[in-house]
Amino acid sequence: MRSFKVYFGFLIFFYFGLVTAQEEHKISILIDTKNASPENTIQWSTGENTKVLDSGEEDPFTFFAQVGDHIRWDAMSLTEPDVPILITSLQYIRGPRIFSKNLLSGTADTEATVIRGGKEYYIYELKFRIGKAGRVHQITSRIRVGD
């Protein structure tokens, strides 16, 4: 009887672990690097598990995430595959502070985990550089965090 209770306890534990498993969101920024104003030619791509609330055509690109979700951003050229694009930073602008820092340093794969939610959009500025010595461009994007 005791082993049944232990077994049942493990089943409950693993069930709730699976139900509350968090998502990983991959956000890809596709940039026309031949355009004189590449920040105006952005296309966004996401993984299948990411709910897009605004595609970025009229308003800033917006997607939905939950507390505990892991988000990874990367950038690539639409027109020149050999030209590297570096995300230099993600800077908090306004809304709830959903990450542990207001300024996330850019890397090849910039990433962060949502640590808290809020009722408003988290608005941030993403800065990127085309090539190694190129000028820094910026775009604004949003994240809506649900409960």
Please name each of the domains of the chain with its CATH number: 23-146 (2.60.40.3910)
Residue 140 to residues 2, 53, 137, Cα–Cα distance (Å): 57, 15, 11
Q: Residue 99 has what pLDDT? A: 97
Q: Residue 3 has what pLDDT? A: 67
Residues 51 and 68: beta-carbon distance below 8 Å: no
Q: Residue 109 has what pLDDT? A: 76
Tens-level pLDDT at each residue, the chain (147 residues) = 566 554 555 444 444 444 445 899 999 999 999 999 999 999 999 999 999 999 998 899 999 999 999 999 999 999 999 999 999 999 999 999 999 999 999 987 799 999 999 989 999 999 999 988 789 999 999 999 986
Strand-pairing partners, residue 128, are: 87, 137
What's the pTM?
Answer: 0.82
Predicted confidence (pLDDT) per residue in 24-35, tens digit: 999 999 999 999
Q: Residue 58 has what pLDDT? A: 87
Where is 28: in which H helix or E strand?
A: strand 24-31
**Cα(82)–Cα(73) distance, integer angstroms:** 19
Where is 4: in which H helix or E strand?
A: helix 2-19
What is Dmax (Cα atoms) for the chain? 73
